[in-house]
Structure 1
Amino acid sequence: MSVEIRGFEELADELDRLQDRTEAVDGETAVSFAELFPEDFMQTHTEFESIRQFFEASPWTVESEADFDRIPGEQFDAYVDEHTGFNSWEAMLSAAAREWIGRELAA
């Protein structure tokens, strides 16, 4: 008696592709705010249409990484808590990172 498995090559190819994508997102990867916080993420989880609007509505001017780094953490967490579905920047960033990884693995 023998059993024929159909689609095994396609499954193996898909697993190879997934492994390649996993290796591509493993480690440190530079990702822009626009990539990390696409409009659909912002519209679902915040009061804003985009990450740009999120920062423009804030009391801080954020035009560079240095500007962002100067924002007081507790004040920024309070801003995030008030205007998003997250209670802190860390929670918002973690959710965005999980979704970004999911998008990258599905690509």
Structure 2
Amino acid sequence: MGFKMEGIDDFNKDIHNIVNKAEELEGENEVSFEVLFNDNFIQKYTSFKTLGEMFDKSQYKVESAEDLDKIPEEELDAYVNKNTEFESWAEMMETAIGEYCADKIGLD
């Protein structure tokens, strides 16, 4: 009489896949704003449909990362705090990165 542990085997395989995908994310990775702040993310945490719309409705012209870097941190944080579920731009970025990584390793 045999004993089949299919559930455990599947679980172990899933864990192995997650570890492999996590290792692929190690080190430095470049991810575009469009991928990081995709429409689903923006719609989930703001009243806007896209990141472009979010910045179009602001007083800032943001067409690149350089444009974003020119905005004083306090002003950007105030805009994010007023128009999103986040208190600051840093918190918004941390959440976006966390969700991106979770999606990439299959934890979504």
State TM-score, norm by structure 2. Answer: 0.85
Between the aligned partners of 2:26 and 2:104, the Cα distance in structure 1 is 11
> Which string of whole-angstrom CA distances, capped at 9 and with x for unpartnered residues, describes residues 52-106 of structure 1?
1111111111112211111100000000011001111011111111111111111
Percent identity over the alignment is 33
For 2:64, the aligned partner's letter is S
Query: What's the counterpart of residue 29 of structure 1?
Result: 29
Between the aligned partners of 1:81 and 1:6, the Cα distance in structure 2 is 48
Query: What's the counterpart of residue 43 of structure 2?
Result: 43
Deviation at 1:7, TM superposition (A): 4.8
For 1:68, the aligned partner's letter is L
Mark the runs of 5 or more structure 2 residues left unpaired by the alignment: none
Runs of 4+ in 1 over 4 A off after TM superposition: none
Query: What's the counterpart of residue 88 of structure 2?
Result: 88
Matched positions, count: 107
Query: What's the counterpart of residue 70 of structure 1?
Result: 70
Between the aligned partners of 1:64 and 1:38, the Cα distance in structure 2 is 15
SS in 2 for 1:102: helix
SS in 1 for 2:29: coil
Between the aligned partners of 2:46 and 2:4, the Cα distance in structure 1 is 51
Between the aligned partners of 1:37 and 1:31, the Cα distance in structure 2 is 10
Once the two structures are overlaid, the 10-residue window that deviates more, 95-104 or 2-11, is 2-11
Between the aligned partners of 1:71 and 1:105, the Cα distance in structure 2 is 33
Mark the runs of 5 or more structure 1 residues left unpaired by the alignment: none
1:106 equivalenced with 2:106 (yes/no):
yes
Between the aligned partners of 1:14 and 1:85, the Cα distance in structure 2 is 33
Deviation at 1:15, TM superposition (A): 2.9
Query: What's the counterpart of residue 13 of structure 2?
Result: 13
